[in-house]
Amino acid sequence: MVIMSKKHANDAKSKEYLDRYMAGVEKRNPGEPEFQQAVFEVASTIFPYIADKPEYHENQILERMAEPDRVVYFRVPWTDDAGNVRTNRGFRVQFNNAIGPYKGGLRFHPSVNLSILKFLGYEQTFKNSLTGLPIGGGKGGANFNPKGKSDNEVMRFCQSFVTELYRHIGEDTDVPAGDIGVGAREIGYMFGQYKRITNRFVGVLTGKGLEFGGSKMRTEATGYGAMFFLRNMLEHAGGGMEGMRISISGSGNVATHAAEKALQLGAKPLTLSDSGGFVYCADGFNQEQIDWVKELKNVRRGRISETADEFSNVEYHDGKRPWGVEVDCAVPSATQNEVNGEEAAMMVKNGVKAVAEAANMPCEQAAVDAFIEAGVMFGPAKAVNAGGVGVSGLEMSQNSARIAWDEDHLRGLLENMMGDIHESCVRYGTEKIGPVNYLRGANIAGFVKVADAMISYGHV
């Protein structure tokens, strides 16, 4: 007779629950691979944790958490500069408000669909919980491509988008922010339209301009926060940031601020990229070059390849991602599923020590598994990039109180928040032996608060 230890029996039970649970999730959400991937990533770490906690099973918590509270889905008609009527599809996924008003960005990108927004809203719920602030999870956007559009076209689109969205949001209900394709320009147009329709000046969107209620440090928060988290991981393992060679993908808000903070912390950011290819600077990008890229992307709205025309020590690699460059740390900062299993294996072979996900779900499941199996420190997105929504939460507090904190104060709050998130991951992610499993730690720490609040409310 084989006698199973309690741990093995629990493991077998959790695996059986997980398989059954995922079969249900796949059946209820057909054709939504990104959403299924995000749910699997969380559930595979939560089931072992709740194996001996019946209250979570009895209350069907994981089942309830995988259903958004509601999804709003609408037509966005607008007129282009040539006078043609164009139509896009707008969405708002209000995922979970157990611990506070829905909060999460708006994404304008041609790839936007329900699966991607549900994955982002689901992840956001755990991330927002990790910040320690009273904010729930949501996400939204449209399959609109701001690239190549004039400012007037973007303005007309944003106004039309908010003409429907305004009735679903509010400072105590749902507070959207920016994401891919939604920066200061788009938030300005949307806030202007909200104010005009409702005749109310309230903190209903975050990421606003500093002149009209925006918070200092919000623009920098996600990239800076990611680097604070990476530093915390390295220090926890007995190292530090000084001299670390870092590959970064993307060249948007998150990537450029991650590169800037890496530099300030004594590391060398070696790469940046966009959907066309990546640029490599063997000396590490300096502040002048990073500022140039910010101007290139935010003002001239150009391509990253132009960086190699401007600076003689920068090489451009057309159509490639930066993961083949030999580095100590990698910080994917562009988009979902941008690191696959083979790339991860190559990075491991090249000696990568730590990977910090600054974008949302940039690593495919096979890549996550490859890093964790190889003992590479792996910081998951919901912990690493939580600084952005964290400072957005602080923007909401400042708006409610009609005050504006200074930059040093906010930088200190951000740094402390990232330190607290790191500690929570260590607390829940440390087994008796072995390195910290940050993925497990972040998922459990984010889960507990939301799940306990849901149990308190009864079956709603």
Window contacting ligand NDP (CB under 6 A); options: 253-261, 342-350, 397-405, 437-445: 253-261
**Among this protein's residues, is 15 annotated catalytic?**
no
Taking the complex as a whole, the smallest distance from the CB of residue 1 to ligand NDP amounts, in Å, to 51
Is residue 388 within the footprint of ligand NDP (CB under 6 A)?
yes
Taking the complex as a whole, the smallest distance from the CB of residue 41 to ligand NDP amounts, in Å, to 15
Which residues have C-beta within 8 Å of that of residue 392, sequence separation ≥ 6? 103, 175, 177, 206, 207, 215, 218, 221
Taking the complex as a whole, the smallest distance from the CB of residue 105 to ligand NDP amounts, in Å, to 6
Q: Which of 153, 274, 328, 395 binds ligand NDP (CB under 6 A)?
A: 274
Cβ atoms of 441 and 426 within 8 Å: the answer is: yes
Total number of residues that touch ligand NDP (CB under 6 A): 22
Per-residue 3-state assignment (H helix, E strand, C coil) for the chain: CCCCCHHHHHHHHHHHHHHHHHHHHHHHCCCCHHHHHHHHHHHHHHHHHHCCCHHHHHCCHHHHHCCCCEEEEEEEEEECCCCCEEEEEEEEEEEECCCCCEEEEEEECCCCCHHHHHHHHHHHHHHHHHCCCCCEEEEEEECCCCCCCCHHHHHHHHHHHHHHHHHHCECCCEEEECECCECHHHHHHHHHHHHHHHCCCCCCCCCCCHHHCCCCCHHHHHHHHHHHHHHHHHHHCCCCCCCCEEEECCCCHHHHHHHHHHHHCCCEECEEEECCEEEEECCCCCHHHHHHHHHHHHCCCCCCCHHHHHCCCEEEEECCCHHHCCCCEEECCCCCCCECHHHHHHHHHCCCCEEECCCCCCECHHHHHHHHHCCCEEECHHHHCHHHHHHHHHHHHHHHHCCCCCHHHHHHHHHHHHHHHHHHHHHHHCCCCCCCCHHHHHHHHHHHHHHHHHHHCCCC
Window contacting ligand NDP (CB under 6 A); options: 31-39, 53-61, 332-340, 439-447: 332-340
Backbone angles phi, psi at 235, to 5 degrees: -70, -40
Q: Which of 45, 159, 206, 360 binds ligand NDP (CB under 6 A)?
A: 360
Question: What character string, x for contact with ligand NDP (CB under 6 A) and - otherwise, covers 217-236?
Answer: -----x--------------
Window contacting ligand NDP (CB under 6 A); options: 186-194, 260-268, 327-335, 346-354: 327-335
Catalytically annotated residue among 103, 127, 139, 294: 139
Structure tokens at 56: 């979570």
Q: Which is nearer to ligand NDP, 445 or 454 (CB)?
A: 445
Rounded to whole angstroms, the Cα distance separating 24 from 47 reads: 15
Backbone angles phi, psi at 305, to 5 degrees: -55, -30
Is residue 250 within the footprint of ligand NDP (CB under 6 A)?
yes
Taking the complex as a whole, the smallest distance from the CB of residue 327 to ligand NDP amounts, in Å, to 18
Q: Which is nearer to ligand NDP, 385 or 437 (CB)?
A: 385
Q: Which is nearer to ligand NDP, 307 or 424 (CB)?
A: 307
Is residue 252 within the footprint of ligand NDP (CB under 6 A)?
yes
Taking the complex as a whole, the smallest distance from the CB of residue 107 to ligand NDP amounts, in Å, to 7
Is residue 253 within the footprint of ligand NDP (CB under 6 A)?
yes
Is residue 443 within the footprint of ligand NDP (CB under 6 A)?
no
Rounded to whole angstroms, the Cα distance separating 140 from 138 reads: 7
Window contacting ligand NDP (CB under 6 A); options: 19-27, 47-55, 248-256, 279-287: 248-256
Name the residue whose CB lies closest to ligand NDP: 252
- Contacts of ligand NDP in 4-63 (CB under 6 A): none
Taking the complex as a whole, the smallest distance from the CB of residue 417 to ligand NDP amounts, in Å, to 14
Taking the complex as a whole, the smallest distance from the CB of residue 394 to ligand NDP amounts, in Å, to 13
Is residue 99 within the footprint of ligand NDP (CB under 6 A)?
no
Q: Which of 101, 176, 181, 393 binds ligand NDP (CB under 6 A)?
A: 181
Number of neighbouring beta carbons within 10 Å of residue 236: 16
Q: Which is nearer to ligand NDP, 198 or 275 (CB)?
A: 275
Is residue 179 within the footprint of ligand NDP (CB under 6 A)?
yes
Is residue 251 within the footprint of ligand NDP (CB under 6 A)?
yes
Taking the complex as a whole, the smallest distance from the CB of residue 254 to ligand NDP amounts, in Å, to 4
Q: Which is nearer to ligand NDP, 14 or 333 (CB)?
A: 333
Q: Which is nearer to ligand NDP, 99 or 255 (CB)?
A: 255
Is residue 394 within the footprint of ligand NDP (CB under 6 A)?
no
In angstroms, what CA-CA distances link 26 with 29, 119, 364? 5, 13, 18
Taking the complex as a whole, the smallest distance from the CB of residue 276 to ligand NDP amounts, in Å, to 6
Rounded to whole angstroms, the Cα distance separating 436 from 433 reads: 9
Is residue 271 within the footprint of ligand NDP (CB under 6 A)?
no
Q: Which residues bind ligand NDP (CB under 6 A)?
A: 178-181, 222, 250-255, 274-276, 333-335, 338, 359-360, 385, 388
- Catalytic residue positions, numbered: 139
